[in-house]
Chains A and B, each alone.
Chain A
């Protein structure tokens, strides 16, 4: 069953469900199915239980962070310049708000096919973003969703035990987000290069040490 057929099956089986196909430009050809948040849980249940699909094995769960993007395009606009109508280039900026994504790779152990890539998107990338948890459907998502919660900060509703998994409980940040700022411990870099050199220089500029020991 190809992605188009899965999409129409889902639409037919679950009223109101509107999955979208997200195309993938790489030669791998692994296109994915974007599920809407309201129907995601029911749709996932259907994907597992449908006898022809039978995606009984959820292999990989991961988070993605897409920052706010700003695209600018040049548009020709006619304007009155000194009383004369002229075509003027204007730069129009479109701001796309960022979002977080959870990606699931589903396989079928029984039918030995796959992967079906399922994506869920959050509304924005604030600190309280919610997605439905798939752990009640596939238990293999349990630790991986905890990991996504820990490192990306997506809250999975319905997860039985949503705690930090890799970092300690007192930790407050979500380090895999693209705008995470790591602690500044670049006081001693004997052989800095590339990114480390940049950070070491930043550190030295920030902390002025009279004896020059701060570098």
Chain B
């Protein structure tokens, strides 16, 4: 096979053509980290300029997983977009379902029965548990604890995925929520199984924490690293655990009180320093608060209908208008902006991706730190490329 096609190519891809070049004048080293890199959570890429070991410039490069989700959604029906929302943030498909269903409910003015609201809360909080556990597992992996913490996290994740599979039929791509409710009711014995999983979960957290929280290497690698001041966090539109680790009290579950979150007694953990350690710790604490919510929800849930009888799943045509709905997904504020023109397809379908917008401040957090720390700081932002690039 001739390789003339490659040879005749001009520097088609700047980043790769001069991926590693040394500028002898300034002693700065320009490197391209990704899109194939073990610690970039998929196909994320950053162009980094290093002075010795210190980062002096960092530009994220996106688009390696741009799957034209929005364009597809605009050429298909409202219902047919639900499976696509699963694949946005593929760690948390149920949260994505909820955000989308919530926006359509706002757009069309649908009500959700109480039981469905409970199921949604349970599903979303279970999602948060498994997401935060795996995030911390991946974070430890990036600090060099190769394998073990991630194995522990995935062991727990599998237990939650079993629950998802029993409920929705799929481990990851749940495609479960519908406008005005949920697709199917809980299977027999599911609640008992969920209670058992929730009751056992604190043991894992205690074990995890006793192994990690006072680990000398972990403290050295995280405390005072990648500090994000609260002002910058707000200015950069950062949401989710990262924002709260910087001490800003903004949790959409409390602010918007969507669903039935006002019924539950839970706290919003806040950080003080806004460093990597706080972002790690906030996730540990949020898991404990999620367990509190789950414990209440699993005991309060009562039988009833699971979908609004007025909701028309097929042939659904909302009145012309627009709506923006948002939830507190495990990554931050996940919003859907929908415009209806009265046809079965949305005129405009926009996802507000928390992962993408949280990366706005990545450069500010990384400047001056070493390249190894950059990987750790990046790990605490907790991005999923499916959502960043959509």
Contact = CB atoms under 8 A, between A and B. Distances in A.
Asked if chains A and B are in direct contact (CB within 8 A), the reply is: yes
Given A26-B321, A27-B108, A58-B237, A109 B248 contact: yes
Interface in A41-75: 56-60, 62, 64
Given A139-B235, A166-B62, A168-B13, A28 B350 contact: no
B5 interface: no
Contact of B66 (A25, A60, A140, A167): A167
Interface string B68-112: 101100010000000000000000000000000000001111000
A12 interface: no
Contact of A109 (B13, B107, B234): B234
Nearest to A115: B324
Nearest to B66: A166
B381 to A, nearest CB: 13
A143 B359 contact: yes
Contacts of A139: 235-237, 360-361
A25 B75 contact: no
B236 A140 contact: yes
A105 B237 contact: no
Nearest to A110: B234
Given A25-B319, A64-B348, A140-B237, A165 B324 contact: no
Nearest to B250: A109
A60 B70 CA distance: 15
A143 B248 contact: no
A140 B326 contact: no
Contacts, number: 107
Given A26-B318, A27-B108, A143 B333 contact: no
B356 A143 contact: yes
A26 B109 contact: yes
A142 interface: yes
Contacts of A151: 70
A138 B318 contact: no
Contacts of A168: 13, 63
Contacts of A105: 324, 335, 337, 352
A170 interface: yes
Contacts of B66: 166-167
A28 to B, nearest CB: 4
Contact of A26 (B62, B107, B238): B107
B339 interface: yes
Contacts of B361: 139
Contacts of B325: 28
Interface residues of A, number: 37
Contacts of A115: 324
A142 B348 CA distance: 21
B285 to A, nearest CB: 20
Interface of A is mostly: loop
A112 B323 contact: no
A107 to B, nearest CB: 9
Of A26, A165, A169, most buried by chain B (CB within 10 Å of CB) is: A26
Most A-side CB within 10 Å, residue of B107, B321, B325 = B321
A186 to B, nearest CB: 15
Nearest to A28: B323
A64 B321 CA distance: 14
A59 B255 CA distance: 14
Instruction: Select the residue from B107, B324, B333, B339 with max chain A CB neighbours within 10 A.
Output: B324
B261 to A, nearest CB: 14
A102 to B, nearest CB: 12
A103 interface: yes
Contacts of A103: 337
Contacts of B248: 109
A64 B335 CA distance: 16
B235 A140 contact: yes
Contact of B235 (A24, A138, A167): A138
A139 to B, nearest CB: 5
A155 to B, nearest CB: 19
Contacts of A144: 356-357
Given A59-B326, A176-B70, A165 B350 contact: no
A62 B337 contact: yes
14 contacts: A25-B321, A26-B320, A26-B340, A27-B321, A28-B109, A58-B237, A59-B326, A60-B337, A109-B234, A112-B255, A140-B357, A165-B62, A166-B66, A168-B63
Interface of B: 12-14, 62-63, 66, 68, 70-71, 75, 106-109, 234-238, 248, 250, 255, 318-326, 333, 335, 337, 339-340, 348, 350, 352, 356-357, 359-361, 389
Given A109-B234, A143-B356, 9 more contacts: A26-B106, A26-B322, A27-B319, A60-B352, A103-B337, A117-B324, A143-B357, A151-B70, A195-B75
The 9 closest A-B pairs by CB, nearest first: A140-B237, A26-B321, A27-B109, A28-B323, A166-B63, A25-B321, A60-B352, A28-B106, A166-B66
